[in-house]
Amino acid sequence: MKIIHTADLHLDSKLDANFADEPERKKQRREETLVAFTRLADYAAQNDVKVVIIAGDMFDTNSVINRVVNTVLNTIRKYPDIDFLYLRGNHDEKSIFVDAATKPENLKLFNKDEWTEYQYDNISIWGTESLADREKYASFVPDRSRFNIVTLHGQTGLHKKNNDKSDVIALNSFKNLGLDYIALGHIHSFIKEKLDDRCDYCYAGCLEGRGFDECGVKGFCLLDINGDKYTNEFIPFAKREFHYVEVDITDTIYQDDIADLIREKIKDIPAKDMILVDLVGYHTVETEINIPFFTELLGGSYFLFKIKCHSKPLINVEDYKGNISLKGEFLDLVEGSDLSDEDKKKVMLLGIQALSGVKVGELSI
């Protein structure tokens, strides 16, 4: 039997972070994210998939426009022979699907307060929304003779980003329980690891990236189960990808040369994709960092093209000492003062910053 494992669709996301100044692109990208779900359902039907597991965060918020909800429901109704098993995540925990009178019969939910099991031949698919209650783990006793899948939404200890334990999955609690696969949501990149000799745990990632913090290939997992054996193939599925590209401009002066460096770095990226170029390294006050020029010259053929600069200004104070200039006179004045060598260095740096017209604190010596 074939099963799709997906998660973190975040439908109806506002996309303001990266598309705030691109209203038409934002509108198009929101529609592409919604269409991704309909394409997923079509793929399932065309490839004899019997179950689609959605491991949380189908929607981005609890307030979703009716058109998006209706599209999801009608897509599910279109394929009554496919079960859509939906575990609510932290972004859609109050989803209207819980009480929807028009909920399709093949849209099945997992219980928040106890383990829910759905059986298909020798396969059991389990899930629960509650992660903080550790008694839930102790009460879970699957039949080892069956192929057992557990569906959860949260972060494991290995991928934990903060001290909040409400969404942390105690993976070790599932070791050696007779599980075969743990279908996870919450992390937006594909991750697959072994839990024990029998069980794999896997984040499918998101179907479509929404920003430059979600770069790389996006898609879903396709499980093909035969008895107690299975294969798990990651299927790239996103219409577009986000790319973060660092370009080191150290020792480069002219804007044409910087443009050549950028062009070389992005030459293999498809025009349909989205690029964020980050200028890094060090530059002098003479370096021609002209972001509007680079954007106009290089960005026109891409769906979204942005540039930012994290290059650090570099000034050698020695280059200005003794010069007949305001900077030279300033450095000579500081050099002849009664300040300690350490304080002289700090004052010189701050003065050169101010006289060079760059933000105080950004320069390096």
pLDDT at 363 over 50: no
Q: Which of the listed CATH numbers 3.30.110, 3.30.1360, 1.10.4160, 1.10.1060 matches domain 242-313?
A: 3.30.110
Q: Which of the listed CATH numbers 3.40.720.10, 3.40.50.2300, 3.30.70.920, 3.60.21.10 matches domain 2-236?
A: 3.60.21.10
> Coil, strand, or helix at residue 5?
strand
Query: Per mean pLDDT, which range of 34-48, 52-66, 201-215 is the poorest?
Result: 52-66
More confident position, 70 or 353: 70
Reduced 3-state DSSP string for 261-313: HHHHHHCCCCCCCEEEEEEECEECCCCCCCHHHHHHHHCCCCCEEEEEECCEE
List, for residues 215-270, the tens digit of each pLDDT value. 999 999 999 999 889 999 999 999 999 999 999 999 999 999 999 999 999 999 99
Amino acid residing at 61? T
Residue 5 CB-density burial (10 A; 0-12 exposed, 13-18 middle, 19+ buried): buried
Indicate the pLDDT class of residue 364, thresholds 50, 70 and 90. Answer: very low
Query: What's the whole-number mean pLDDT along residues 46-54?
Result: 98
- 178 vs 191: CA distance, rounded Å: 21
List, for residues 337-352, the tens digit of each pLDDT value. 989 988 887 787 777 7
Its pTM stands at: 0.83
- 9 vs 92: CA distance, rounded Å: 11
Indicate the pLDDT class of residue 96, thresholds 50, 70 and 90. Answer: low
pLDDT at residue 34 in the model:
96
- 291 vs 348: CA distance, rounded Å: 29
- 32 vs 19: CA distance, rounded Å: 14
Counting residues of the chain whose pLDDT is more than 90, the rounded percentage is: 61
Which residues partner with 55 through β-bridges?
87
Q: Which residues does 365 contact at the CB level (< 8 Å), separation at least 6?
A: 315, 316, 317, 345, 348, 349
